Structure 1
Amino acid sequence: MYIDDIEGTDGRSLGLVVSRATVADIHERNLFSSIIDTSRGRDVAVSDEQSAAGSVPPATLACHGNPSRHDVARARRVPASTKPIMGKMFSDARLGKAVQFNDAAKAVDQIISTLDENPIALIEVTRLRSKDENSFLHSIGVSTLMIHFGRWLGHDPMAVRLLGVSGLVHDIGKMALPSSLLQKAGSLTGDELAQVRTHPSEGHALLARHGTMPNVVMEICLNHHERLDGTGYPRGIAQNEISKAVRIASICDVYDAMTTIRPYKRAWSPTEAFSSMFRSEGQFDRQLLWQFIQCLDHPGGP
């Protein structure tokens, strides 16, 4: 197998792996996510037993699509080229300045252009992040998933673009929180958890203060942690009070968080993430969740 990239290693390539000692070293260091180049080595064979967890569909949850070396290289340029834009947006938010729709839209246009070539390449590249990149790449990862899912659902280009912008700014309220809190390894205290749960309201207030963001972007920023059974936050709304756009955002946000490394946990595989999400009765729109699985399983469309 040819390993082209490993999470958190700044594009490190192991090349062709032929030694059991190399495989053992990967396992010992808990390097959970990687990109393989199937044109230069073997693909991953996943058994039905390994992937058929709960009621989740079989093994193709590993996000097939076999991105080429060119696709992966292009996908890697997206985080680098959007980082200055995202850095300015986050910095402006920390200072209480306006977060401009046009800035976010520029970054989204770059993501859309890359997704045109190979959607799975960019989705997989955004999962390969180091802990200090998490906030920045989580925003790009959620935006990428929302764009891809919106396209798969047949939304028109403007609606897809708005989903992408929403993904970029959905967590902008976290810029009002101490970085030490966001990067804390281990469990949060009750007071710390309550503070973290202010970020949707903080973000919505920040975006509303300047009035440049469309309503759907504002709505997703405020409601992306709400749940269908009313157990979410910050308002505890439920069912018909939660729009389809917010339901899409909730699925993409949780999936990205589960499948990438965090300061306090390892990354989960797609199968583990989907199994957990399906077991969370009342949390997510189950029809949309099934469709989300399909969109990653068949990246070219339904």
Structure 2
Amino acid sequence: MLIALPISELTPGMFVDSVTKQHEGLNSIKIKTSGLVRNQAIIKRLVTEGVLELLIDFTKGDAAIPDKYKPKKSTASQKPITSSSKTKPPAVKPAITLEQEFAKASISFEQHNRKLQALYGDVTTGLSVNLKVIDEMANDIVSSVFRNTSAMTILTRVKDKHSYNWRHMVNCAIFTAVFAKYLGYKEEAVQQLAMGALLHDLGQAKLPQGIISRPSKLTGSEMDIIKRHVAQGLGLVKGEKGITPLILDMIVNHHERLDGSGYPRGITAEKLSRPARIMAIVDVYDALTADRPHQEGDEPINALRYLLAHKELFDAELVQHFIKCLGVHPVGTIVKLTNERLALVLEGNKLNPIKPKVKLFYNAKHGHHVTPKDLDLNESDQSIKIVSSIKPLDYQINLARLLKEHLLN
């Protein structure tokens, strides 16, 4: 049985019949060969070559057909429902584990950053925004978040100051989707919010890039130039198909503050919508925790403290919800425990944010890796606690490699 799958759904064990879609903008060789996908390295190479979609032959290889692609059974032979028939409850979708979703999310995350980098470059050279690409990215991010909240969020902890401009927009889309889902927004609304987050800083591509990438603090006049990115961003998308008032609101008002000290208009709390307040919180949180050309990223707990301490700037109630949503130590954070072990935070605890689920992997006292062990710090008989969050480089830990070692099968 031949089924076309996006590259994000390709897994080891599948047999590739052919490549049906490949990014035309890359200077890569068109892949025409077929064969068995034996490991993640092959998938990564396909992603690098710009492959977008493949035709999979499920009569070959070891992988089973994903449920959503299985042909639906005919209902013609089913018995009619009578008064004596027992109605079955609707089928519950099986939970997607962190490991299952992370395999897809890690590929998609790399793709999104490459696509947004290319789109950013297009805008810098004067081309228009390809909103179809933005919409597809938003849809993929939201779908991943609704399958498993942690997988995409963990990837936001991987830092790269040289690609901050587009990584920031992807990260903000992920955080916005996770936060909106937590707040109870329906998936359609979360899609719009994620799209607004992907577009909120795109206007910076129209500014002098020497200022954007300056490795030192900006002067007052340079900051005035930076502030123009809001108007530039609005000009890029206003009136385009698929751009809703909600998306425009997020682009225009993400730098506004409750006390009127923000820009570009200096409006106050009564004129700021909830989406604009959400975008402001997410934007500042990622900016503070990411490595940027002029500063090293701070730890999440310090960024959350900053948001809490500035009630005059940010919606205090939303900040409290944001902390409960992400946790004091967000997923993907490395923490030091009272037993002198380092652990990777895998899952938050909404009721008790200081007691997440973690995976022990390193002996900090003796400086060596240990056999990984999952630990729920919220269990009643658990005496181990988190002492602090730590920076991976303090222990010469490559976070990207660590995540792949412990989360990719």
Could you tell me which of 63, 86, 89 is aligned with 2:119?
A: 89
Q: Offset of 1:126 from its aligned partner? A: 1.9
Is 2:134 aligned against 1:123?
A: no
Is 2:180 aligned against 1:150?
A: yes
What does the per-residue CA deviation read over 1:224-261, in whole Å, with 9 as the maximum and x for residues that have no partner? 00000000001101111110000000011111111111
Could you tell me which of 213, 231, 246 is aligned with 1:216?
A: 246
Task: Say if 1:96 and 1:206, in contact at 8 Å, map to a contact too.
Answer: no
The 5-angstrom pairing of residues 127-276 of structure 1 reads 127-208=157-238, 210=240, 212-276=242-306
CA RMSD of aligned residues (A): 2.1
2:300 alignment partner AA:
P
Q: Distance in 1 between matches of 2:189 and 2:146?
A: 16
Structure 2: state its 5+ residue gaps: 1-96, 328-346, 352-409
Task: Say if 1:119 and 1:299, in contact at 8 Å, map to a contact too.
Answer: no
Could you tell me which of 309, 312, 333 is aligned with 1:279?
A: 309
What does the per-residue CA deviation read over 1:114-155, in whole Å, with 9 as the maximum and x for residues that have no partner? 223432232121221211111111111000011111111111
What does the per-residue CA deviation read over 1:132-182, in whole Å, with 9 as the maximum and x for residues that have no partner? 111111111000011111111111111100000011000011001122211
Point out the structure with the larger strand share: 2
- What is the total number of aligned residue pairs between the two structures? 236
Task: Say if 1:93 and 1:99, in contact at 8 Å, map to a contact too.
Answer: yes
What does the per-residue CA deviation read over 1:185-210, in whole Å, with 9 as the maximum and x for residues that have no partner? 12111110100011111111221264
Q: Distance in 2 between matches of 1:211 and 1:164?
A: 16
Q: Distance in 1 between matches of 2:265 and 2:282?
A: 20
Structure 1: state its 5+ residue gaps: 1-66
Q: Distance in 2 between matches of 1:140 and 1:195?
A: 23
Q: Offset of 1:111 from its aligned partner? A: 1.1
1:194 alignment partner AA:
D
The 5-angstrom pairing of residues 55-94 of structure 1 reads 69-94=99-124
Q: Distance in 2 between matches of 1:87 and 1:263?
A: 16
Q: Distance in 2 between matches of 1:128 and 1:217?
A: 27
Match of 1:99 in 2: 129
| % same residue | 28
Q: Offset of 1:112 from its aligned partner? A: 2.0
Could you tell me which of 125, 134, 139 is aligned with 1:109?
A: 139
1:236 alignment partner AA:
G
SS at match of 2:156: helix
Q: Distance in 1 between matches of 2:116 and 2:250?
A: 18
Match of 2:400 in 1: none
Q: Offset of 1:299 from its aligned partner? A: 5.5
The 5-angstrom pairing of residues 16-31 of structure 1 reads none
Which is worse superposed, 124-133 or 171-180? 124-133
Q: Offset of 1:68 from its aligned partner? A: 5.0
Point out the structure with the larger helix share: 1
Match of 2:70 in 1: none
Cα distance change on mapping 1:94 and 1:210 into 2, 3 Å: farther
1:105 alignment partner AA:
D
Between the two structures, name the one with larger relative contact order (CA 8 Å, sep ≥ 6): 1
Q: Distance in 1 between matches of 2:275 and 2:226?
A: 23
